Amino acid sequence: MSRVGILTGGGDCPGLNAVIRGVVRKASQNNTTVVGIKDGWKGLLQNIASDIAPDSVADILQRGGTILGTSRTNPYKRPEDVAKVIENYKKMKLDALVVIGGEDTLGVANKLAKENKGINIVAVPKTIDNDLNATDFTFGFNTAVEIATEAIDRLHTTAESHHRVMVVEVMGRHAGWITLYSGMAASANLILIPEIKMDIDEICASLKRRQASGKAYSIIAVSEGATFKEGQFATQEKALDSFGHIRLGGIGEMLAGEIEKRTKIETRYVVLGHIQRGGSPSSFDRVLSTRFGVKAMELVLEKRFGFMVSLRGTDVVAVPIEEGVGTLKTVDMALYDTAKIFFD
Q: How many CA atoms lie within 13 A of 329 on its CB side?
A: 21
Q: How many CA atoms lie within 13 A of 177 on its CB side?
A: 23
Q: Are 9 and 43 in contact (CB under 8 A)?
A: no
Alpha-carbon gap, residue 266 to 259, rounded angstroms? 9
Where does the chain have alpha helices with state H?
Answer: 16-28, 41-46, 79-91, 103-114, 141-162, 177-185, 200-212, 251-263, 283-301, 321-325, 333-340
In the residue annotation, 337 being an active-site residue is answered as: no
Alpha-carbon gap, residue 121 to 60, rounded angstroms? 24
DSSP 8: E
Beta-carbon contacts of residue 86 (< 8 Å; ≥ 6 apart): 117, 118, 119
Phi (first) and psi of residue 145, to 5 degrees: -65, -45
- Select which of 12, 39, 104, 129 is catalytic: 129
Alpha-carbon gap, residue 77 to 98, rounded angstroms? 21
Residues serving a catalytic function are 129
